[in-house]
């Protein structure tokens, strides 16, 4: 096949892969597209492989995260042409991870040798790198597509990365079994497939319930994004939350979404004070997203602004967001970037990063692991917090992405965090998808998106530690490096 044919197929395979994730859930695709990509790299030069990797990544991110266009153009006020270029640049930049991945694969771990091991090892290594390099963008990991399949039993053992490892291993081993002529490789692939097909038999109950289930009410106010930060609407929006809470909630715990209070508490207090007082008298807890300001003499402005989640009742408690969205919540090189377009001057785009150690939110009777917006996509960040907590809460404002596939992807990611950590999870959003997820990663209750509503549900505190919580990503990385050593050693032996 000529190279341009391979290039088009690589782009197509990458672009097809997001159909395996929510909201489409065509999960068998996740066992096909990596195999096709693996075949396309066969007998290619290092330069050709690098280009094929970049094109696969361009297709994957070009379709899978194209929703960033909505936040840039619709809500950021950036002209359409510039917004398209920015979205394309974002996808092209993320695709460089795949370009480097295939460069290393072609340079050190491909022919002649056990190429399957090298392909799997580099894939998982780069999924991990995407979770922290340049603050990370841990989106579209293969393992998410296998949620709600028999293979997700491995998530509490090794996290989403172990599920990804199983996915890419099954895909490429099936491919190698059908295409390779080497008996030793075919035997190894057959044994590997047979072993992995036993994973649905693994233990699933790693944590234990504590006490009785208790009720939680989650308020979804459906505030328009283009009005949310306009001070003139503040009284109306706060009273919407207050009235919904007063009239439609009775649970001991009530959760409002990310920046449900789009102002400092001193400005919002006149509107929410009576509600908070009533809830305190009844022994109820109110948790809400809110910007918070902390005086800091070392800061150039004399203070720091945080995107926070607060317990507003009782003694109160605060959690500050640890993973900020670049260009959305803070602007790198802001003196230059803010002059380019309106997108770089979004409301509340000057948040600060807190100290690296954050404790769970604490009330009188429970510890709650918090994650704000896309923080829930960071497996290791959530893992550390979840070990010290009874249940998880994540708040978001996915209104930024309107009617795109982003909210469904975000919910699927939250489901994986609940499964990895063996904890119930409450997901509170401004306009959906608001849901309660059980400790097995299943959506227990959900309300329709894009409407004003309150979710009434119950959750169960749990205790105990899953293997993933205990060991983190380390075992999966060890497996990846062992596979890379096998591939490299096999290649060296064949070359002699």
pLDDT attached to residue 296: 73
Q: Compute CA distances 396 → 243, 339, 427, whole Å.
A: 21, 28, 8
pLDDT attached to residue 333: 45
Sequence spans of domains, the chain: 3-204+472-495, 209-465
C-alpha closest to that of 104 among 35, 96, 34: 96
Cβ atoms of 28 and 151 closer than 8 Å: no
Chain segment 298-352, per-residue pLDDT in tens: 666 777 889 999 999 999 999 999 987 765 555 554 454 444 555 555 555 566 6
Res. 185: pLDDT tops 90: no
Q: Quick one: tokens of 73?
A: 């153009």
Q: CB count, 10 Å around CB of 467? A: 18
| H-helix or E-strand spanning residue 154 | none
Average pLDDT, the chain: 91
Cβ atoms of 306 and 354 closer than 8 Å: yes
Average pLDDT over residues 400-407: 91
pLDDT band at 416 (very low <50, low <70, confident <90, very high): very high
Please identify which residue in the block is written with the tokens 């293997």: 467
- The set of catalytic residues is 258, 321, 373
pLDDT attached to residue 170: 97
Chain segment 93-109, per-residue pLDDT in tens: 999 999 999 999 999 98
pLDDT attached to residue 336: 47
Class of residue 337 by CB neighbours under 10 A (exposed 0-12, middle 13-18, buried 19+): middle
pTM of the model: 0.94
The CATH class for the domain spanning 209-465 reads: alpha beta
Q: How many CA atoms lie within 13 A of 336 on its CB side?
A: 2
Res. 430: pLDDT tops 70: yes
Res. 466: pLDDT tops 70: yes
Chain segment 117-137, per-residue pLDDT in tens: 999 999 999 999 999 998 899
pLDDT attached to residue 491: 65
Interstrand relation of 367-372 and 391-396 (parallel, antiparallel or unpaired) = parallel
pLDDT attached to residue 102: 97
């Amino acid at each position: 096949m000529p190279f341009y044919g391979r290039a088009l197929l690589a782009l197509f395979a990458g672009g097809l892969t997001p159909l395996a994730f929510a909201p489409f859930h065509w999960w068998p695709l996740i066992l096909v597209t990596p195999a096709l990509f693996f075949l396309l790299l066969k007998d290619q030069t290092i330069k050709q492989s690098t280009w094929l990797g970049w094109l696969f990544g361009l297709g994957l991110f070009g379709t899978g995260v194209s929703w960033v266009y909505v936040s840039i153009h619709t809500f950021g006020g950036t002209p359409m042409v510039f917004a398209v270029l920015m979205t394309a640049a974002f996808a092209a930049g993320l695709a460089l991870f795949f370009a480097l991945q295939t460069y290393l694969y072609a340079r050190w771990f491909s022919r002649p040798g056990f190429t399957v091991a090298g392909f799997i090892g580099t894939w998982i290594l780069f999924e991990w790198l995407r979770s922290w390099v340049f603050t990370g963008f841990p989106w579209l990991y293969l393992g998410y597509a296998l949620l709600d399949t028999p293979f997700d039993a491995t998530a509490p053992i090794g996290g989403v990365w172990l599920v990804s490892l199983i996915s890419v291993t099954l895909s490429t081993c099936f491919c190698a079994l059908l295409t390779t002529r080497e008996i030793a490789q075919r035997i190894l692939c057959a044994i590997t497939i047979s072993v992995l097909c036993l994973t649905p038999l693994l233990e699933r109950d790693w944590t234990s319930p504590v006490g009785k289930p208790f009720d939680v009410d989650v308020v979804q106010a459906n505030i328009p994004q283009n009005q949310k930060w306009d001070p003139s609407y503040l009284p109306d929006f706060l009273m919407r939350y207050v009235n919904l809470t007063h009239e439609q909630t009775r649970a001991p715990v009530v959760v409002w979404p990310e920046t449900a209070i789009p102002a400092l508490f001193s400005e919002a207090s006149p509107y929410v004070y009576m509600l908070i007082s009533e809830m305190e008298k009844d022994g109820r807890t109110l948790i809400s997203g809110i910007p918070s300001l902390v005086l800091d003499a070392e800061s150039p402005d004399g203070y720091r602004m945080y995107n926070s989640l607060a317990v507003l009742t009782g003694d109160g408690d605060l959690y500050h967001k640890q993973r900020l969205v670049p260009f959305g919540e803070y602007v790198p090189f802001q003196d230059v970037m803010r002059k380019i377009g309106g997108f770089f001057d979004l409301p509340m785009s000057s948040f600060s990063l807190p100290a690296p150690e954050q404790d769970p939110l604490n009330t009188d009777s429970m510890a709650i692991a918090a994650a704000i917006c896309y923080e829930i996509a960071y497996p290791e960040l959530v893992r550390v917090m979840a070990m010290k907590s009874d249940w998880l809460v994540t708040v978001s404002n996915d209104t930024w992405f309107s009617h795109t596939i982003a909210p469904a992807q975000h919910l699927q990611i939250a489901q994986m965090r609940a499964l990895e950590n063996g904890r119930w999870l409450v997901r509170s959003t401004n306009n959906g998808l608001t849901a309660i997820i059980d400790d097995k990663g299943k959506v227990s209750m959900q309300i329709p998106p894009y409407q004003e509503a309150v979710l009434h549900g119950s959750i169960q505190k749990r205790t105990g530690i899953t293997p993933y919580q205990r060991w983190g990503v380390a075992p999966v990385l060890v497996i990846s490096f062992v596979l890379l050593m096998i591939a490299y050693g096999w290649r060296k032996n064949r070359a002699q």
